[in-house]
Amino acid sequence: MSLFLGILRLVLLSVAQHFIKQKPVQRYPCRLNKGEKRGSYVYDSNGKKYLDALAGLWCTALGGNEPRLVEAATKQLNKLPFYHSFWNRTTRPSLDLAKEILEIFTARKMGKVFFTNSGSEANDSQVQAVIKKYDILFIADEVITAFGRLGTMFGCDKYHIQPDLVSIAKALSSAYMPIGAILVSPEISEVIHSQSSKLGSFSHGFTYSGHPVACAVALEALKIYKERNIVEKVQAISPRFQNGIKSFSESPIIGELIIIYGDRLRSTERIIEELKSQNK
């Protein structure tokens, strides 16, 4: 088995040389995931086990190998693997998901949902629209904070914010499929609708907007959040999480730890001296 893992690692490292990383200037090889995640743990090409404390990139809210999400994707792939959302076309999963999102977002009444493939696209689409206007709109970036991370379904609920536009992604499908969305207020959606009636269809979009498989998986993820009382569980375990973060400052291998902000299951820190010398 060790020989097999060694050969597999060499093959993966060879392939990785052709992959552009987020920091391509670095000359160090990629740290490889061997393609397996179970629950909150991932495994590298040597078979070493790691706690995925970042949940991917704050997105695999239901952990690895959640069978219900895999089943939802498989069923939809067998039924209708893809169809676009242009020219008044749509699919049942995208309609059902839009309806569900609008129902669970309670900070204020929103009118429409526009699907993207990630949080970046969701934010970029809004910025491009806003800079062409004189009026200032309030955009809530819920790409990371939505679906329970702050102890409420959305960050807007916790801070009593009533936004005009909302970006969501990441935990929307627990990162099992790439999907993002923009929630649009009734006032804005009515302007788009009325102007489209005068000037023609508003044709902004992406090829994979409202992808039926991604929507089917996201729908199942939202069901699981409700059934497993994810919001209530976050409220229950967050004190332990916050206390654990603060306790890092007492570690002999970590320098000064400044908590910039922290809330429930999200925290941002700045480590002044990343590691203290083992010789001191």
Which domains does the chain carry? 1-52 (no CATH), 67-227 (3.40.640.10), 233-280 (no CATH)
In the block, which residue shows the tokens 């934010």? 123
So what's the pLDDT on residue 273? 46
> Is the distance from CB of 170 to CB of 144 less than 8 angstroms?
yes
User: Which residues, listed in sequence order, are joined to residue 258 by a DSSP beta bridge?
Assistant: 270
pTM over 0.75: no
168-179: pLDDT as tens digits:
999 999 999 999
Considering the chain, what is the average pLDDT of its residues? 78
So what's the pLDDT on residue 224? 97
Looking at 23-32, 46-55, 114-123, 186-195, which range is the least confident one?
23-32
Pairing verdict, β 41-44 and 49-51: antiparallel
| CA–CA–CA angle 70, 218, 52 (5° rounding) | 65
Q: Which residue has the higher pLDDT, 244 or 132?
A: 244
SS3 65: coil
So what's the pLDDT on residue 157? 94
Please state, as a whole number, how many other Cβ atoms lie within 10 Å of the Cβ of residue 203. 8
So what's the pLDDT on residue 155? 93
Confidence of residue 275 (pLDDT cuts 50, 70, 90): very low
Measured distance CA(204)–CA(218) in Å, rounded? 23
Q: Where does residue 150 rank: exposed (0-12), middle (13-18), buried (19+ CB within 10 A)?
A: buried
pLDDT exceeds cutoff 70 at 211 = yes
Q: Which residue has the higher pLDDT, 261 or 199?
A: 199
CA 244 to chain centre: 24
Q: Which residue has the higher pLDDT, 204 or 85?
A: 85
Contacts of 97 (CB under 8 A, 6+ apart): 113, 115, 181, 210, 215, 218, 219, 222
Q: Which amino acid is at 190?
A: E
Q: Which residue has the higher pLDDT, 275 or 211?
A: 211
| E-only strand ranges, the chain | 33-38, 41-44, 49-51, 112-116, 139-141, 165-168, 180-184, 257-263, 266-271
51-88: pLDDT as tens digits:
888 888 788 888 888 999 999 999 999 998 888 888 78
pLDDT exceeds cutoff 70 at 208 = yes
Q: Which residue has the higher pLDDT, 224 or 58?
A: 224
4-55: pLDDT as tens digits:
445 555 545 555 555 444 444 444 455 555 567 788 888 877 788 888 888 8
Q: Which residue has the higher pLDDT, 85 or 218?
A: 218
pLDDT exceeds cutoff 90 at 89 = no
